[in-house]
Amino acid sequence: MHDYLTGGFTANTSLAHYCRDNGLLLHIHRAMHAVIDRQKNHGKLEGEREITLGFVDLLRDDFVEKDRSRGIYFTQDWVSLPGVLPVASGGIHVWHMPALTEIFGDDSVLQFGGGTLGQPWGNAPGAVANRVALEACVQARNEGRDLAREVIKLSVRLANGVLN
């Protein structure tokens, strides 16, 4: 993972070329975007705001057919695009877990920052809440249950993070 706010655009380009040449996965991250982008008077140095705030749908067709036998919903033709791994980052917390597991499936990266550190009982309980939420959501999804309603019953820490 490369944070291009810290590393800079030139380093980002060099790293992208290196990773492409060596078959490595590269995740470009913009740290603190959940905080920075939501400021009304803040300007960005690059591109469209929607690229950051609406990226889930960027690499998908308008309609994605669900095919549970394949394990993930992305049935569109990816042509020569090498493997794509969805990454959710910035402003996410345990209450988003049901939607994240439903949208992204099992092969994804969920990067929690403030959603973990902002848990009312502290960092460690926040990390526990994230892990419990993930495991509960995957299990409930696989069993066809209502994720959003059932998951908060499984952990006091999870319920505290969700309800406060």
Q: Could you tell me the pLDDT band of residue 119, with boundaries at 50, 70 and 90?
A: confident
* 122-148 mean pLDDT: 85
| Each residue's pLDDT tens digit, 154-163 | 777 766 655 5
Q: Give residue-wise pLDDT tens across range 83-94.
A: 667 788 767 878
Q: Torsions phi, psi of 111, nearest 5?
A: -105, 110
pTM score: 0.51
DSSP string, 76-131: S--TT------EEESS--GGGHHHHHHHH-SS-EEE-SHHHHT-TT-HHHHHHHHH
Is-contact 47 57, C-beta < 8 A?
Answer: no
Q: Which contiguous run of DSSP H or E holds residue 3?
A: strand 2-3
